[in-house]
Amino acid sequence: MFIQFSILFLLSTTPFTYLIKAKQDNNNFVRSLDHKALSLENKKEKLSHLKFYWHDIVSGNNPSSITIVPSPLKNSATSFGFVNMIENPLTLGPKLSSKLVGKAQGFYASTSLSEVDLLMAMNFAITQGKYNGSTITILGRNPILDKVREMPIVGGSGLFQFARGYAQLRTHSFSSKTNDAIVEYNIYVLHY
Ligand SMILES: *[C@@H]1O[C@H](CO)[C@@H](O)[C@H](O)[C@H]1NC(C)=O
Q: Is the CB of 179 under 6 A from ligand 1?
A: no
* pLDDT tens for the chain, residues 1 to 192: 455 545 444 445 555 555 555 555 566 888 999 988 988 888 899 999 999 999 999 999 999 999 999 999 999 999 999 999 999 999 999 999 999 999 999 999 999 999 999 999 999 999 999 999 999 999 999 999 999 999 999 999 999 999 999 999 999 999 999 999 999 999 999 999
Q: Which atom of ligand 1 is nearest to the CA of 127?
A: 1
Q: CA-CA distance, 62 to 186, in Å (whole number)?
A: 26
The residues, any chain, with a CB within 8 Å of residue 22's CB and separated by 6 or more, are none
CA of 127 to the centre of ligand 1 (A): 7
Q: Domain 46-191's class?
A: mainly beta
User: At residue 25, what are phi and psi to the nearest 5 degrees?
Assistant: -60, -40
CA of 78 to the centre of ligand 1 (A): 40
Q: Which atom of ligand 1 is nearest to the CA of 132?
A: 1
Q: Where are the domains of the chain?
A: 2-30, 46-191
